[in-house]
């Protein structure tokens, strides 16, 4: 029996590569010719170790050899030196797309891939999350977590029905299932259930995140959207590839 | 007291600009200070130990830090995601 399903869009992903000069040469040889394996390469934040421009240059040199579109979100490490705007400019000058509450679509041989991205932020998970209550500092912490989910939802809404496959890319985790292996005490600092709600409300086919180095790769949102933690220490490879089958008929 | 020392060292390893390693754990075991977790390179491992040594703890440092595996080639064993099969 022939498979009547449409050809999949091949999405390569990795996160948490924490590039600096000492890791130069680790990724470039593995990313050259990636178009034989994948239609796009998504990077789930923590591109650098300390968020310096020098480290971003190392990332751009290593990942710039990929011969497919490279789409990234920044992670908390990339904000550490206050150079996130300069890092974004540098990566975009090198032809990469940096998503932060924004989305884009790419034409592939198998159809249109839509990607919405956001760094995300802490908050926690249902029943064990920060509450928008009390001191101004607590409210600021909580409302920032909520706001990042709202901007992800808007970025996903902006994609509409146009893509054949829709991927949500974040640094912080949208579910807690992929955090298993991390100490439970720090889960509220690793992810944010509101990101998962945004994903469930907007027709996402696959959600990718990083940040949880000791977590596990596979999880699901409450509505059943596959979530993959692609932090490099978790996948132990230069990238994973997810072949996502478009919903439209072949 | 030992617990406090371990947490202080973990905080310093996380916040010292030379390291900024958030995944390092420190435990006091008798006369030993056990440093564990994972870093991406030999150089980063040496810097973590250097930061620990700067604290005069009087304990013997035991380096149990693992180096992250060098990334293997990606692409092997593509996982298929078929949204039409979702329950």
Most confident option among A102-116, A129-143, B15-29: A102-116
The residue with greater pLDDT, A133 or A221, is A221
Note whether B41 contacts A: Cβ–Cβ < 8 A. yes
Residue A195 banded pLDDT, cuts 50, 70, 90: very high
The average pLDDT across A233-239 equals: 92
Name residue, tokens 């956001």: A118
B75 pLDDT above the threshold of 70 = no
Give the best residue of B23, B76, B81, B85 to mutate against chain A (max A CB count within 10 A): B81
Asked whether A148 and A193 are in contact (CB, 8 A), the reply is: no
Cβ contact, residue pair A213, B23, below 8 Å: yes
pLDDT of residue A249: 66
pLDDT of residue A160: 85
pLDDT of residue B71 exceeding 90: no
- pTM for the model stands at 0.90
Give the percent of chain B with pLDDT over 70: 95
Nearest by Cα to A116 from A54, A60, A162: A162
Neighbour tally for B76: CB within 10 Å: 10
Quick check: A27 and B76 CB within 8 A?
Answer: no
pLDDT at A137 over 70: yes
For A43-86, what is each residue's pLDDT tens digit?
Answer: 999 999 999 999 999 999 999 999 999 999 999 999 999 999 99
For chain A, the average pLDDT equals: 95
């Amino acid at each position: 029996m022939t498979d009547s399903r449409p050809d999949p869009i091949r999405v390569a992903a990795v996160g948490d590569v924490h590039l600096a000069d000492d890791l130069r040469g680790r990724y470039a040889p593995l990313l050259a010719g990636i178009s034989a394996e994948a239609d796009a390469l998504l990077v789930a934040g923590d591109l650098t170790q300390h968020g310096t421009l020098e480290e971003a240059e190392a990332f751009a040199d290593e990942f710039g050899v990929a011969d497919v579109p490279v789409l990234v979100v920044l992670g908390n490490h990339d904000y550490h030196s206050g150079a996130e705007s300069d890092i974004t400019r540098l990566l975009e000058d090198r032809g990469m797309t940096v998503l932060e509450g924004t989305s884009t679509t790419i034409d592939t041989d198998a159809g249109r891939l839509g990607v919405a991205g956001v760094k995300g932020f802490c908050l926690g998970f249902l029943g064990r999350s920060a509450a928008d209550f009390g001191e101004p500092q607590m409210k600021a912490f909580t409302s920032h977590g909520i706001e990042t989910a709202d901007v992800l939802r808007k970025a996903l809404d902006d994609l509409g029905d146009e893509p054949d496959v829709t991927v949500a890319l974040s640094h912080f985790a949208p579910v807690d299932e992929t955090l298993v292996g991390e100490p439970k005490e720090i889960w509220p600092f690793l992810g944010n259930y509101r990101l998962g709600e945004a994903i469930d409300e907007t027709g996402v086919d696959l959600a990718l995140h990083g940040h949880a180095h000791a977590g596990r790769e596979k999880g699901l949102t409450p509505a059943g959207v596959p979530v993959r933690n692609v932090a490099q220490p978790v996948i132990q490879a230069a990238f994973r590839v997810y072949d996502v089958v478009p919903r439209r008929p072949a | 007291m030992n617990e406090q020392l371990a947490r202080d060292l973990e905080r310093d390893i996380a916040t010292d600009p030379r390291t900024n390693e958030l995944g390092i754990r420190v435990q006091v075991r008798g006369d030993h200070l056990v440093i564990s977790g994972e870093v991406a390179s030999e150089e980063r491992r040496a810097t973590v130990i250097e930061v620990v040594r700067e604290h005069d703890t009087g304990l013997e440092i035991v380096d149990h830090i693992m180096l992250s595996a060098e990334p293997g080639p990606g692409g092997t064993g593509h996982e298929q995601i078929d949204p039409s099969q979702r329950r």
